[in-house]
Amino acid sequence: MKVADICDAVKGKLICGEDKRDKDIEFAFASDLMSDVLTIKCDSLLLITGLANLQTIRTAEMSDAACVLFVRNKTITDEMKLLADESGIPLITCSITMFRAAGELYKAGLKPLF
Amino acid sequence: MSEMNFEYKVEGGDFTRAGYASSQIKRMLKQLGVDSNIIKRVVVCLYEAEVNIVAHAYRGVIYISLSTDRINMRLTDEGPGISNIPRAMQKGYSTASKEVREMGFGAGMGLPNIKENADIFNIESEVGRDTTLDITINLNHEAA
């Protein structure tokens, strides 16, 4: 599933990483617990989260997440965007809940890890 | 490649900078062409350990020593120390503050995850003084 398709499925907005619209993503993992994200051994991963701070982007960088989707209209700061840009990680925001985002993306074909 | 050494200072409580050293090391290992699975193990260890200093200690220093076949990471801090290391190594045990938990950490997963990703892991601590982690990862083969 491409980053652009993920945006469409959750009616989200790509706020960073415009050049990554065609990037392919196969799996998704939803968590607000960054230590849990750091236990995942998968590269082509969409991180779905409600936690919006610099460490969310750092965690995505360290765990080689391919894209981050922030649910429930979280505020993404300029520092977060800058760090995501440096790390080549596209960021998407959407207004729906984490449960609904996960459901819509599962329906659209993204796979769970376990 | 001869041995390369790097040093990074870490300030307790400074969550905006947490992860800087890990990010630098990740870039360097990528440039050196190290296998991506091994890079991930290195940076997950380093990042979790770096966050631990920020979350629990007053200040700390990261010493990285990199050679052709392995990376040694020593993270030493000045802080409250750990009174019961076996308990700290248990999954789910944490003394982290509410602020640390709000940052997405402090669930008692960091130290066990470091141990799992490291080829050699050692932790020493003196209560009221310091904690030192020594982490070694071999760069030319998969996990032991």
Average the pLDDT over A16-27 and give the result.
96
Q: Are B68 and B141 in contact (CB under 8 A)?
A: no
What percent of chain B has pLDDT above 90? Answer: 92
What residues in B contact A62, CB-CB < 8 Å?
Answer: 19, 22-23, 26, 40, 43-44, 47
Q: From residue A82, how far is each of A50, A85, A86, B3 by CA, in Å?
A: 19, 5, 6, 32
Out of A59, A63, A64, closest to residue B104 by CB: A59
- Percent of chain A at pLDDT > 90 equals 96
* pTM, two decimal places: 0.94
Q: By C-alpha distance, which of B58, B67, B24, B61 is closest to B43?
A: B24
Architecture of domain A3-112 in this structure: 3-Layer(aba) Sandwich (3.40)
Looking at residue B141, its pLDDT comes to 66
Query: Which class is domain B4-138?
Result: alpha beta
What ipTM did this prediction achieve? 0.92
- Token pair, residue B98, equals 């509410």
Q: Does A93 lie at the interface with B, CB-CB under 8 angstroms?
A: no
The pLDDT confidence band at residue A44, using thresholds 50, 70 and 90, is confident
Instruction: Check CB contact of B93 with chain A, cutoff 8 Å.
Output: no
Q: Give residues with Cβ within 8 angstroms of A86, minimum separation 6.
A: none
- Assign B125 a pLDDT band (cuts: 50, 70, 90): very high
Task: Tell me the backbone φ, ψ of residue B130, rounded to 5 degrees.
Answer: -160, 165
Residue of A62, A78, A85 to mutate for B, most B C-beta atoms under 10 A: A62
Q: What percent of chain B has pLDDT over 70?
A: 97
pLDDT confidence of residue B106: 92
Answer whether B117 touches A (CB < 8 Å). Answer: no
Position B57 pLDDT exceeds 70 = yes
Look at the block and give the residue holding tokens 């770096």: B50
Find the CB nearest B44 among A33, A51, A63. Answer: A63
Is residue B53's pLDDT more than 60?
yes
pLDDT of residue B51: 96
In this structure, what token pair is assigned to residue A98?
Answer: 């984490």
Q: What is the pLDDT of residue B2?
A: 79
Interval A43-64 mean pLDDT: 95
List the domain boundaries for chain B. 4-138
Q: Which helix (H) or strand (E) holds A85?
A: helix A78-87
